[in-house]
A and B are shown apart, each in its own frame.
Chain A
Amino acid sequence: MSAAAAIPRAGISDRLLGPLLIAPVVVVLGAVIAYPLFAALALSLFAVDTLTLDAQWVGLGNFGELLGSDGRFWTALVVTLVWTAATLALQLVLGIAMALLLNRDIWMRSLARSLVLFPYFISTVVAVLVWRWLFNDFFGLINLALIGGGVIDAPVDWLGSMPNAFVSLVVVGAWKFFPFVVIAVLARLQSIPESLYEAARLDGAGVWARFRDVTLPQIGEVLGIVVLLRAIWDFKEFDLIFLLTGGGPIDATRTLPLIVYQEAFGLNRMGMAAAYAVSMMIVMLGFFAAYRAAVRGRA
């Protein structure tokens, strides 16, 4: 019996099949990412009116303006960095603590885990609506609870004044995004072999020593990646800030992504918006380089 004759040769060689399968992805990503990205770079060199779409070549003029004393780049960059650092720090503390707690043998552990995941998966719109209701001046749960508990006498304006608005933002950001830290750390905790703890116990390590010498080194790598990813995502966060404070009061919480939007669709200056976006991307490239270095370092 000749099986060779029974089976037709494969229609397409592997050499062609590989590129062929990735081609649709390349085309689509080219259209929705690469092209817009280069268009943004080009736009940043023009002054473009959003309504009429009249474009005028200004070269690096947009960048000169945004980096100059009239521009808001530096202030917004500081706001963005402070927001990123503050909310990320809170996410880490809350996330690691929660992961350690949920890794213990507690009542109804899987239900607790599910509840903790919720904030991360619900829409930012929902999160903001709920928190705005909680922050409500006269009928919000927070003010009522604080007045009831005798902490404050009069309702606090949580979103309309500084530094309250910033603090509120950081807290809501931490609440929304800390489950990411929980899941990442919890997954790693569960993979630490029990024998490591037993060995440490035999070596006379107490609770704290076991955490410092066994747990911490094991979750260290994961934390590195978590910090970089969350730093990038918090840095570029738009929805939460735009919806919760809108950048206010005045410009106090206006981060770079909000300025891009405001320039394009509030002030109708598309070229300027693109220039802000490009500047922001350059800052982010720094983050990205750090991420790659960290990934390489682990391999």
Chain B
Amino acid sequence: MSAGVRKLGWSLLAWALVLLVATPLLWMLSTSFKPENEVFAVPVTLLPEEWTVEYYVLLLTETSFPRYFANSAIVATLTTLVVIALGTLGAYSLVRFRYRGREAIASAVLLSYLLPSVVLIVPLYLMMVKLGLANSLASLVIAYTSFALPYALWLLRSFMAAVPEDLESAAMIDGATRMGAFLDVTLPQALPGIISTALFTFILAWNEYLLALVLVNADEVRPLTTGVMTMLVSGFNIEWSLLMAASVMMSVPLIVILAFLQSYLVRGFGAGAMKG
């Protein structure tokens, strides 16, 4: 069997499987562009016979979707900023300094990284009520750090550890202070890792559902996840094209990240999961 034929065989097999995996997403795209009569047509059409963007227009003009989208963008961005700021300094401390309790903190971080959110929802809910933060975007940002910060710390720790300590020592001998050496040398070297962590954090916050379900029940502050689900249950009959359009729109940031910044995501995978 020649190499060319073998490549053909493996390629066909691989792509058959890849397309099977991608089918739900392609179907989502296809449905979102179909007019209502075609959605419920039998036999089904794989691609819309008549392409329409009416559901996208509807989504952006007649529903609360734009508000949900804005809420999600605000919450995910703020969560990412807070988590990266705290996580970068914290990870640096865990990697470069020796002090009592450091190992204990590192273990606690790993433990909380594996802790189920569902354990925390009741006390977090009570806490937000007590603080008067229930039904606010702030409550989501605070609650999201509970799962995003341990994860980010874990990733950042291994990225920071990969920056040679000699570089920082050299900078200090060259006249930089400890923080100066961190800013001049370690931070630029860890930047790809920080970007990777930021993307992960953003995606985690963007996709979060359970805490949003518990902490927020007003349309003004609902993020996309719970918001789009209310669109599903509030309608008299389910408008699948509208929901698929919402799903597509909701996935746009992820599509952008996957298309242009995928290498950062893969890097994060390796650091976070495999270097335990």
The answer to whether A104 touches B109 (Cβ under 8 A) is no
Q: In chain A, what residue has the closest Cβ to B152?
A: A25
- Does B118 reach chain A (CB closer than 8 Å)? yes
Chain B residues lying within 8 Å of A126, measured Cβ to Cβ, are 28, 247, 250-251
- Known contacts: A24-B89, A24-B90, A130-B27. The answer to whether A121 contacts B258 by CB under 8 A is yes
Q: In chain B, what residue has the closest Cβ to A186?
A: B266
Q: In chain A, what residue has the closest Cβ to B207?
A: A123
The answer to whether B244 touches A129 (Cβ under 8 A) is yes
- Known contacts: A36-B146, A97-B17, A141-B27. The answer to whether A14 contacts B258 by CB under 8 A is no
The answer to whether B114 touches A123 (Cβ under 8 A) is no
Interface size range of chain A in the complex: 35 or more
The answer to whether A53 touches B206 (Cβ under 8 A) is no
Query: Which of A59-67, A197-205, A232-240 contacts the other chain?
Result: A232-240
- Does B274 reach chain A (CB closer than 8 Å)? yes
The answer to whether B17 touches A10 (Cβ under 8 A) is no
Chain A residues lying within 8 Å of B125, measured Cβ to Cβ, are 264
Give the contacting residue for B206; candidates A114, A123, A131, A242; CB below 8 A. A123
Q: How far is the CA of A288 from the CA of B115 in the complex (A)?
A: 10
- Does A26 reach chain B (CB closer than 8 Å)? yes
Contact flags A36-51 to B (C-beta < 8 A → 1, else 0): 1101100100000000
Chain B residues lying within 8 Å of A21, measured Cβ to Cβ, are 89-90, 92-93, 97
CB distance from A100 to the nearest CB of B (A): 9
- Does A77 reach chain B (CB closer than 8 Å)? no
- Known contacts: A25-B90, A39-B126, A125-B228. The answer to whether A117 contacts B265 by CB under 8 A is yes
Chain A residues lying within 8 Å of B23, measured Cβ to Cβ, are 141
- Near B by CB (< 8 A), chain A positions 1-48 give 3, 7, 10-12, 14-15, 17-22, 24-26, 28-29, 31-37, 39-40, 43
- Does A183 reach chain B (CB closer than 8 Å)? yes
Q: How far is the CA of A230 from the CA of B65 in the complex (A)?
A: 33
The answer to whether A129 touches B228 (Cβ under 8 A) is yes
- Does A206 reach chain B (CB closer than 8 Å)? no
CB distance from B261 to the nearest CB of A (A): 11
The interface centre, meaning the residue of A11, A123, A134, A277 with most chain B CB atoms within 10 A of its CB, is A123
CB distance from B3 to the nearest CB of A (A): 9
- Does A196 reach chain B (CB closer than 8 Å)? no
Give the contacting residue for A17; candidates B40, B115, B119, B178; CB below 8 A. B178
The answer to whether B115 touches A37 (Cβ under 8 A) is yes
Q: How far is the CA of A7 from the CA of B69 in the complex (A)?
A: 51
The answer to whether B177 touches A10 (Cβ under 8 A) is yes
CB distance from A255 to the nearest CB of B (A): 10
Q: How far is the CA of A91 from the CA of B17 in the complex (A)?
A: 14
- Does B276 reach chain A (CB closer than 8 Å)? yes
Majority-rule SS of B interface residues: helix
- Known contacts: A133-B240, A232-B114. The answer to whether A225 contacts B274 by CB under 8 A is yes
9 nearest CB pairs, A to B: A18-B97, A236-B116, A36-B123, A25-B90, A39-B123, A21-B93, A32-B146, A123-B207, A101-B14
Further contacts, 17 of them, CB under 8 A, given A106-B15, A112-B15, A260-B118: A22-B105, A25-B90, A32-B145, A36-B120, A98-B18, A106-B11, A117-B258, A118-B25, A121-B254, A124-B225, A125-B229, A130-B25, A238-B117, A238-B209, A264-B125, A274-B123, A280-B119
Interface residues of A (CB under 8 A from B): 3, 7, 10-12, 14-15, 17-22, 24-26, 28-29, 31-37, 39-40, 43, 53, 97-98, 101-102, 104-107, 112, 114-119, 121-127, 129-131, 133-134, 136, 139, 141, 144, 148, 175, 180, 183-184, 187-188, 222, 225-226, 229, 232, 235-236, 238-239, 242-243, 257, 260-261, 264-265, 270, 273-274, 277-278, 280-281, 284, 287-288, 291, 295
29 A–B pairs (Cβ distance < 8 Å), ordered by A: A10-B177, A17-B179, A19-B93, A22-B105, A25-B153, A29-B108, A32-B120, A33-B146, A37-B115, A53-B126, A104-B10, A104-B14, A105-B10, A106-B10, A112-B14, A115-B18, A119-B21, A121-B203, A121-B254, A122-B207, A124-B209, A130-B27, A144-B42, A242-B210, A261-B118, A261-B210, A264-B121, A281-B115, A291-B114
